[in-house]
Amino acid sequence: MSSFFTSSIGKKFLMSVSGLFLVVFLAVHLTANLFILGGPDAFNQSAHFMGTNPIITLMQPILAFGFLLHIIYSLIIQIKNWKSRPVKYKKVDQSETSTWASRNMIWLGIFVFGFLTVHIINFFYVIKFGEMNMITVNGVEMEDSYKLVAGLFTDFGAISYIYSAVYIISFIALGLHLHHAFWSAFQTLGLSNIAWRKRLSVLGDIYAIIVAAGFTIIPLYFLLF
Amino acid sequence: MSSKTINIKLKVWRQKDATTKGKFENYELSEISTASSFLEMMDVLNEKLVGEGNEPVAFDHDCREGICGMCSLFVNGHAHGPDTLVTTCQLHMRKFKDDETITIEPWRAGGFPVIKDLMVDRNAFEKIMQAGGFVSVSTGGVPDANAIPIPKKDSDEAMDAASCIGCGACVATCKNSSAMLFVSAKVSQLALLPQGKLEASRRAKNMVAVMDELGFGNCSNTGACEMECPKGISLAHIARLNREFLVATIKE
Ligand code: SF4
Ligand code: FES
């Protein structure tokens, strides 16, 4: 067992499991976010529910651990992969043999990580530790999360436009990451064969599009309405 | 197919031995028949070099009919050249245009060090095979060939896996220099059959352990290996190897 986590497949196993865990997290996060389309009260209630629900609170450290595991192992695996070809080719053509996303998972990942850092500072940190306006919805006092989100996307003129653009590009990067990641995770866990590869790829693409489009709707909603 | 002749420019990796630094040399060949194979073109080049009193280019080859896995060469950015499902010995010069510049490099991978020019040391594959790429033979009388019924589907799939010729194109083309396609083919060809199933877990564990030791990278499922493999070995075998490996770990 101890040799398992130092073996190539063992390390990839950790990448897959943590990755699939993050896939579930993204679905939950997106669902909570889309309440924004229902207006301030709906979103604030959704945010309040997420912030106070004991299961969600319990999951937070596990989620942080999942992210860390995924990030640390991606670096360990990637560095070994770079070292595995000490002398590079002069001419390589992989345009037809693999997808661009599959060859650039590390860069897509680093991009998404950069966004994640900004995102945590802008939202998570402010909601948890910063000064929030309080409002009362249906008799319950809660943080005005809607104002925070709407503010970032609309209140700062040009900076808000840039922020929105970065936000959208980040989710396109995440979508591309998921396009390869979803199927790949199952393949690494041994849960694929010729027939399932096609099914999982299609499923992964549908999921990637829902995530990328779903999150992109939010800045568009504020920019256009 | 009617044959014509083309003139080509070659950019060939030359390296005296494993420790000397190599570099690209440029050569020109004229009137190469498009019906000739890539290795025949290399023979023409070497004839020319020898005629001029120069050292011929060292490259691996043996059967020249696509079954031994000895030929290699990274041609214009592709393992075994631009054609699909063929080895370099089966690659025709009709795949190239008149006046084309052809870049020829050895397999590049930490696990496959260059011996000389375009020849690389693929002993790493032998070491992986020694770790488990076999079925242990029991003593006793010779068993009847048809005593163990095997479903057609299984024998077909095992046969597909067994068509791997150990050429190393998968490693050469993989952006991570991973040997997973090769190892998965060798694990699958035995794991799919009743005779090999008994040792399947141990085999997967031991072969992966040696593969990891020998400087090959981690598979990231890009699928480029499957596309460049001259035998069309499927990524589904890699899933099976992962499965066998995980089962072996759980069983422990
Ligand atoms: S899997 Fe294909 S590319 Fe790899 S060694 Fe076997 S035949 Fe060659
Ligand atoms: S020389 Fe035998 S496969 Fe090419």
Whether A84 maps to a domain, the answer reads: no
| Window B:32-71, CB contacts with A under 8 Å | none
Report the number of distinct structural domains present in chain A.
1
State residue B137's pLDDT score. Answer: 81
A3 versus B197: the higher-pLDDT residue is B197
- HEC string of B16-78 equals CCCCCCCEEEEEEEEEEECCCEHHHHHHHHHHHHHHCCCCCCCCCCCCCCCCCCCCCCEECCE
Q: Which residues of B touch A177 (CB under 8 A)?
A: none
Residues B99/B38, Cβ–Cβ less than 8 Å: no
Is residue A200 very low, low, confident or very high in pLDDT (cuts 50, 70, 90)? Answer: very high
The CA distance from A193 to B161, in Å, is: 14
Nearest atom in ligand 2 to B230's CA = 3
Exposure string of A64-94, with b = 16+ CB inside 10 Å and e = fewer, is eebbebbbebbeebbebbeebbebebeebeb
Is A44 within a domain? yes
In a domain, A51, yes or no: yes
- Partners of residue B176 in chain A, C-beta under 8 Å: 81, 84-85
What is the extent of the structural domain holding A32? 13-70+100-224
> What would the DSSP string read from start to end of A151-219?
HHHHTTTHHHHHHHHHHHHHHHHHHHHHHHHHHHHHHHTT---HHHHHHHHHHHHHHHHHHHHHHHHHH
| A77 lies in some domain | no
Cβ pair A93:B78 closer than 8 A: yes
Print pLDDT tens along chain B (252 aa).
567 999 999 999 999 999 999 999 999 999 999 999 999 999 999 999 999 999 999 999 999 999 999 999 999 999 999 999 999 999 999 999 999 999 999 999 999 999 999 999 999 999 999 999 999 987 888 888 888 999 999 999 999 999 999 999 999 999 999 999 999 999 999 999 999 999 999 999 999 999 999 999 999 999 999 999 999 999 999 999 999 999 999 988
Q: How far is the CA of A188 from the centre of ligand 2 (A)?
A: 32
Task: Show me where the domains of chain B are located.
Answer: 5-116, 123-251
CA-wise closest residue to B200 among B144, B154, B151, B141: B154
The CATH superfamily holding the domain B5-116 is: Beta-grasp domain (3.10.20.30)
Chain A contact present for B96, CB below 8 A: no
For chains A and B, what is the number of CB pairs under 8 angstroms?
137
Residues 139-178 of B with CB under 8 A from A: 173, 175-178
- Does any domain span residue A149? yes
Ligand 1 pocket: which of B125, B186, B229 to mutate (most atoms within 8 A of CB): B229
- Region label for A190, one of left (φ > 0), alpha (ψ between -120 and 50) or beta (otherwise): left
- Examine residue A89 and state whether it is found in any structural domain, yes or no: no
3-state secondary structure chain B: CCCCEEEEEEEEEECCCCCCCCEEEEEEEEEEECCCEHHHHHHHHHHHHHHCCCCCCCCCCCCCCCCCCCCCCEECCEECCCCCCCCHHHCEHHHCCCCCEEEEECCCECCECEEECCEECCHHHHHHHHCCCCCCCCCCCCCCCCCCCCCHHHHHHHHHHHCCCCCCHHHHHCCCCCCHHHHHHHHHHHHCCHHHHCCHHHHHHHHHHHHHHCCCCCCCCCCHHHHHCCCCCCCHHHHHHHHHHHHHHHHC
CB of B66 closer than 6 angstroms to any ligand 1 atom? no
Among A194, A10, A199, smallest CA distance to B161 is for A194
Does the residue A60 lie in any domain? yes
DSSP letter at A4? G
Domain B123-251: which CATH number of 1.10.1060.10, 2.60.120.380, 3.40.50.300, 3.40.50.2000: 1.10.1060.10
Disruptive mutation site among A87, A107, A191, A200 for chain B (greatest number of B CBs within 10 Å): A87
CA gap A73, A61 in Å, rounded: 18
pLDDT at A1 over 70: no
A91 in a domain, yes or no?
A: no
Question: Going by CA atoms, what residue is nearest to atom 5 of ligand 1?
Answer: B166
Model pTM score: 0.95
Is A9 in contact with B77 (Cβ distance < 8 A)?
Answer: no
The alpha carbon of B179 and the centre of ligand 1 are apart by a number of angstroms equal to 9
Residue recorded with tokens 């991570």: B176
Distance from the CA of B32 to the center of ligand 2, in angstroms? 21
Q: Specify the pairing of strand A140-143 against strand B5-14.
A: unpaired
